[in-house]
Structure 1
Amino acid sequence: MLSSMRKIASQQLKIALIAPPWFPVPPTGYGGIELVVSILAEGLCRRGHDVTLFASGDSVTQARLVSVFDTATFNKLKENVHLENIQSLAAYERAGEFDIIHDHDGYGSRLLGALTSRLLAKPVIATMHGPAEPYSLGFYQSLASDLLFVAISEYQRSSFSGIDFLATIPNAIKINDYPFSENADDYLLFVGRMSEEKGARQAVSVANKLGKKLVMIGKCSEANEIKYFNEYVKPILGNNTEYLGEVDLATKLELYRNAECLLFPIQWPEPFGLVMIESMACGTPVVAIRNGSVPEIVHHGRTGFIVEDEEGMVEAVKNIEGIERLECRKRVVEEYNEEVFIDRHELAYENALTLNGQRKAGLSAHRL
């Protein structure tokens, strides 16, 4: 636990946070990165830091909001993938105003950050929210001498070979927003996009084999998601499955709180599955396929079960009553609450400033 960690709040920092422009901060629906950025911005403001958030104009924050776009731009993503660079440039043009620039945006923004760090000797931190793909790994390795990288899981960190990370800071939630229940209704829950990566088809199959009710919520608005749903999910839906699409936060929390367990049949090595800690915060255990960060988040036999395949999920659900729901809640309170999250970031910022001072001293000595 980091609750007793020495804070650096006595040193008020001027911090720029760069969010992607695709969804508002916090998101009204889909948008995991935007949710995490919102928690960070509000927490840093509470600690007395001077925070400027670069995000879409429909964002809501206690920080100073700077917007290039009046509204979120996800509907323009396909026609112009460079919108994120335009927004990030607005932050980097003002780099001299900040002690720390913390970038949560995409690939192009990372390059802008590296140039800023090199030219202005300004510490730029980049949180990695995605996987280490072959086409991106070399790009990040080329920036490693200029940017300070933060991972969101140890699995993700280990997959970025050749990069020295400043810290590993898992995602977090505002624990008090998640209602706990010691009791559950008789249904399984799936939360995620309609995609093969998230395992929507596998979740339906597990419920069908068990003859149990399944409630599904998640995004299905893009062409590839609609195609996947129509081809692989819809044909196997039975009367036992209810697909609600995207729902508001209150509905999602109520579904988490009352579910018997969350099915997390993840089909790719996801760096961090936010829905797992959301579920456990409400006391709902997780049945997950072993992949990516799953073994770091779920304590097998205590907060859920980690299995190897769909058949393993079926057997795990049969034994889910052996999991104490209070243990699930405790796990999130100890490791994934917002105060621990802010503690970890303050320590990372302190270390970044120290490293940056050492780098500038080294540059000065070299010039002499």
Structure 2
Amino acid sequence: MTRVVLIANAREPIAEPFPGGLESMCWNLAKGLRRHGIEVELYAGPGSDPALDVHILPVREHVLSRAARGDVSMPPEDFVIEHFAYQDLMVSLRGRTDIDVVHNNSLHYLPLAMAPSIGTPMVTTLHTPPTPWLEPTIRHLSDPRARFVAVSRRTATVWREVVRSSTIYNGVDTERWAAGPGGNALVWFGRMVPEKAPHRAIEIARAAGRELVLAGPRSDRRYFDEHVRPHLGGSVSYAGHLSTYELSGLVGRSVACLVTSQWDEPFGLVVAEAMSCGTPVVVFDRGGMAEIVREGGGEVVADDDRAAAAAVDRVVGTDRATVREIAVRRFSIDRMVRDYVDVYTAMSGGGR
């Protein structure tokens, strides 16, 4: 095993502060593979970390006539641009004899649709539940070399009707997400959007009689202004969009972390990050998060604010060293990298 092409999302940069778990995973995987002596050719969106020696996906505007723009079936222009970015990339990979495996993390249908034409085996990580574009592409894929990895057993289960996949949990930099001393306040961190529901964390903290610190990008400004900002002050504060160093410090100084997602999180990176700091978590039983918390990292509760508030009192006394040990053992970057190297090696026939 010598060279892997890693395809990331064309829409988001692979750089801190990370827009989401996919971007964090690609950043850590690229660095981890290189530490293991594997050459990585990373393709990602504009603005990605230059330290990763990124090949910027050829995202460029395409000239469309007035007639084309006026067509009632005209898709969003970003869709057109992204389509051709991946098409240009896949065409450039055809006939390459120096690549062992292509690892697709794009969430886009085109790399998979064109996979049979490039002559190199491709593994695709399933970062989301089935989508209307990706599902039919996988159903019609006729490439026996293709492999699929899900980020949790739950995600593998929801894809099972379409494709069989193994499971590799995303990795957390357990050195950067270092053990913290704890504190008195609760913490919630992530994107400020309705499906992550920080407004429910506010209600839970109040019911539990605890201070709450919120952190993360205001990805949906209208939602933040209407549902979060009016509650700031007193026992609820907003720390802003923090760097990994700042955020890990905040989480490490917190008594517990609330994770209030209103959709089925495929993995739940914030859960593993909080646990790496030794901070126990209270999560709703949605998606793959219950798998992350098992073994003593916190509590999984029904989708109910009162149940979550009651769970806060129960997790406060959790041994922080035990919580961190679980995270280091199950969610370290080295563990994730080793698991993917095993997949690559099997796909490439054990290397040259």
Which TM-score tier does this pair reach, normalised by the shorter chain? 0.7 to 0.9
TM-score using structure 2 length = 0.86
1:101 aligns with 2:99: no
- Larger mean CA deviation between 58-67 and 198-207 belongs to 58-67
* CA deviation profile, 1:160-196 (whole Å, cap 9, x unmatched): 1333435211100111112212x32210101122222
Q: How does 1:30-179 map to 2 (within 5 A)?
A: 30-56=19-45, 58-60=47-49, 64-68=53-57, 79-95=77-93, 96-97=95-96, 98-107=99-108, 110-116=109-115, 118-133=116-131, 136-143=134-141, 145=143, 147-179=146-178
Work out the CA distance in 2 between the residues paired with 1:60 and 1:197: 28
Residue 239 of structure 2 aligns to a residue in which SS?
strand
The residue number in structure 2 matching 1:185 is 183
Work out the CA distance in 2 between the residues paired with 1:104 and 1:134: 17
Amino acid at match of 1:179: A
Unaligned runs of 5+ in 1: 1-11, 72-77, 356-368
How many Å apart are 1:134 and its aligned residue? Answer: 5.8
**Contact 1:265 1:310 (8 Å CA) reproduced:** no
**Contact 1:272 1:293 (8 Å CA) reproduced:** yes
Amino acid at match of 2:38: H
Work out the CA distance in 2 between the residues paired with 1:236 and 1:64: 43
Residue 262 of structure 1 aligns to a residue in which SS?
strand
The residue number in structure 2 matching 1:9 is none
Amino acid at match of 2:85: Q
**Contact 1:156 1:293 (8 Å CA) reproduced:** yes
- Seen in structure 2, the aligned counterparts of structure 1 residues 238 and 268 have a Cα distance that, compared at 3 Å, is same
- Seen in structure 2, the aligned counterparts of structure 1 residues 53 and 289 have a Cα distance that, compared at 3 Å, is same
Work out the CA distance in 1 between the residues paired with 2:194 and 2:160: 27
1:220 aligns with 2:218: yes
The residue number in structure 1 matching 2:71 is none
**Contact 2:10 2:46 (8 Å CA) reproduced:** no
The residue number in structure 2 matching 1:306 is 300
1:287 aligns with 2:282: yes
The residue number in structure 1 matching 2:224 is 229
**Contact 1:20 1:84 (8 Å CA) reproduced:** no
**Contact 1:144 1:164 (8 Å CA) reproduced:** no
Work out the CA distance in 2 between the residues paired with 1:185 and 1:315: 18
Residue 157 of structure 1 aligns to a residue in which SS?
helix
Work out the CA distance in 1 between the residues paired with 2:333 and 2:311: 30
The residue number in structure 2 matching 1:74 is none
CA RMSD of aligned residues (A): 2.7
**Contact 2:138 2:163 (8 Å CA) reproduced:** no
**Contact 2:268 2:288 (8 Å CA) reproduced:** yes
**Contact 1:287 1:307 (8 Å CA) reproduced:** yes
* CA deviation profile, 1:75-95 (whole Å, cap 9, x unmatched): xxx751344333333432232
Residue 348 of structure 1 aligns to a residue in which SS?
helix
How many Å apart are 1:238 and its aligned residue? Answer: 4.6
Amino acid at match of 1:103: N
Work out the CA distance in 2 between the residues paired with 1:198 and 1:267: 6
How many Å apart are 1:23 and its aligned residue? Answer: 3.0
The residue number in structure 1 matching 2:263 is 268
- Larger mean CA deviation between 326-335 and 55-64 belongs to 55-64
Task: Give the % identical residues.
Answer: 28
1:19 is aligned, of 8, 29, 33, to 8
- Larger mean CA deviation between 283-292 and 42-51 belongs to 42-51
- Larger mean CA deviation between 80-89 and 56-65 belongs to 56-65
Work out the CA distance in 1 between the residues paired with 2:77 and 2:204: 38
- Seen in structure 2, the aligned counterparts of structure 1 residues 18 and 233 have a Cα distance that, compared at 3 Å, is same
Work out the CA distance in 2 between the residues paired with 1:328 and 1:63: 31
The residue number in structure 1 matching 2:322 is 327
- Seen in structure 2, the aligned counterparts of structure 1 residues 253 and 352 have a Cα distance that, compared at 3 Å, is same
Amino acid at match of 1:305: E
Amino acid at match of 2:164: F
Work out the CA distance in 2 between the residues paired with 1:68 and 1:115: 16
TM-score using structure 1 length = 0.82
The residue number in structure 1 matching 2:247 is 252
Residue 162 of structure 1 aligns to a residue in which SS?
coil
Work out the CA distance in 2 between the residues paired with 1:322 and 1:268: 29
The residue number in structure 2 matching 1:197 is 195
* CA deviation profile, 1:88-109 (whole Å, cap 9, x unmatched): 33432232322211111122xx
**Contact 1:114 1:124 (8 Å CA) reproduced:** no
**Contact 1:84 1:106 (8 Å CA) reproduced:** no
